[in-house]
Structure 1
């Protein structure tokens, strides 16, 4: 990130200030990237006003961006359906020295190249929403494994959490299904946990506290412990105890495992369809 940090001559254009675009911009600002080096295009005026107050250059449409501007990084933070419909209008802002980065699920490098023929350097990155608090998991794919943009991309996105590369673009479909969509699965499990606590007779406020704090504490232990996830589970499971009784039901006939796998497979298939 040091190659861009506080360097306004290296400019970043972000198209889309929704949840993910905002999470990325906020992470960059928090890590010291100069706000005046960031240019944001979004149709939501309230979003633009918020970032303008912080010193970010804001535009409500692509036509308002001066053609004279040259961007080192061009970040597409739009939904796949929107990219496929409107991306060609941004082509004029790409030059030979720009790195086009897309965080859209499913849209392949070849599709991006066909939609934006001016783009010579194209990268796909799959972030997830915990990037909003610097705890994201982000995975990148680039065709040019020795690209001069490798260090730049790692620096930019490592500021938002853990960053990894894949060398096979097909793996991005699985990445999308696991880390990209995964927070929603975790939130749904937590939602079900809260509802279970309520149905066991606990008052709603207490049910929420116990379920949420158990998930948060378990995640922190998993993060900080040297033991693997199976060992941590076994540490809680006394023979013939309450935890074993509960797990036997949860793990019966691998129903839960199979449902989770089916969930991930459905997300992966949808990513493939979007490509």
Structure 2
């Protein structure tokens, strides 16, 4: 859990979409004072939900009272929206504000160029399991040492946090942990559909496939063995598992598809930068 001093920072969150809301809800669940949080979002339903929790809510920049100094400015908009709208937020940033961007691809130098008041910028790549405290977050800052305690205090409440020293690695991070949950969701979707083709009814197919994915993931987390050893441990020679794996691993097609998947995601991150 974050230290109380980190939970009492005055924070502005711009963007209450899936990721912004996941982070904000995680902070609230960990004891952050709702009245210390200010949220800007165009969605009235999103604003009403957080207003009911005690968060200050606004539909646009103009509604935010002048003179407020924010310790942290969390920029949780899509990259395309940031490029179009971000300059309007410049007045809400002071010399002491730490700007934290969770947008894929937008580099620190670009953020500083678009927001001249932002002297202190940290990029963080989270992923959606942060919604349940099981996220993986990776941070980068050209002034990393100054923000280690602040950023780790805020984001470690949502899962595991790591730093990188080279911002170029953020493209790979985005492709792996940032986009990775979607790849696994698609695998689970295909697994369910395969269960149906074997004649299981829809409900049972879903329960068996998804609970198997969940159980295997928990075993990975709790075991001291790496995933290759775990796979070999459940693969009896000439058994059913080996037969299935031989089809799955034939000609390394799945491995090649995974590599292509991650490479394309990283390439898109580069394009967005």
Instruction: Give the TM bin, normalised by the shorter chain.
Output: over 0.9
1:27 paired residue number: 26
1:230-250 per-residue CA deviation (whole Å, 9 max, x = no partner) reads: 110001100010101111111
Name structure 1 gaps, 5 residues minimum. none
Tell me if structure 1 keeps the 8 A contact 2:171–2:270: yes
Q: Which residue of 1 aligns with 2:102?
A: 103
Residue 201 of structure 2 is aligned to residue 186 of structure 1: no
Q: Distance in 1 between matches of 2:145 and 2:51?
A: 36
Given that 1:5 and 1:32 are in contact with CA atoms closer than 8 Å, whether structure 2 keeps it comes out as: no
1:77 match: 76
Q: Is 2:253 the partner of 1:252?
A: no
Root mean square deviation of aligned Cα: 0.8
Match of 1:123? 122
The residue that corresponds to 1:165 in the other structure is 163
Query: Where in structure 1 do 4 or more consecutive aligned residues deviate above 2 Å?
Result: 3-7
Partner of 1:87: 86
- From 224, 227, 239, the equivalent of 2:225 is 227
Structure 2 counterpart of 1:176: 174
CA positional deviation for 1:4: 3.6
The 2-side partners of 1:145 and 1:184 are apart by: 29
Preserved CA contact (<8 Å) 1:124 1:141: yes
Question: Which residue of structure 1 aligns with residue 60 of structure 2?
Answer: 61
The residue aligned with 1:207 is 205
What SS does structure 1 have at the residue aligned with 2:145?
Answer: coil
How many Å apart are 1:217 and its aligned residue? 0.3
* Match in the other structure for 2:131: 132
Q: 1:50 to 1:88 in 2, by over 3 A?
A: same
Relative to structure 1, the CA distance from residue 173 to residue 222 in structure 2 (aligned partners, 3 Å threshold; closer, same or farther) is: same
| Counterpart in the other structure of 2:236 | 238
Report the counterpart of residue 16 of structure 1 in structure 2: 15
* Counterpart residue number, 1:266: 264
Distance 1:63 1:54 in 2: 22
After superposition, give the CA deviation of every residue in 1:210-246 in whole Å (9 maximum; x if it has no partner): 0000000000000001111111000110001010111
- The answer on whether the counterparts of 1:35 and 1:55 sit within 8 Å (CA) in structure 2 is yes
Measure the CA separation in 2 of the matches of 1:4 and 1:193: 45
User: TM-score, length-normalised on structure 1?
Assistant: 0.97
- Kept in 2, the 8 Å contact 1:35–1:56? The answer is yes
TM-score, L = length of structure 2: 0.98
CA contact (8 A) 1:141 1:168 kept: yes
Task: Pick the structure with more helix per residue.
Answer: 2
- What's the CA shift for 1:58? 0.5
Any conservation in 2 of the 1:36–1:56 contact (CA below 8 Å)?
A: yes
Q: What are structure 2's unaligned runs of at least 5 residues?
A: none
CA 1:247 to 1:6, structure 2 compared with 1: closer, same or farther past 3 Å?
closer
| 2: CA distance, partners of 1:5 / 1:165 | 18
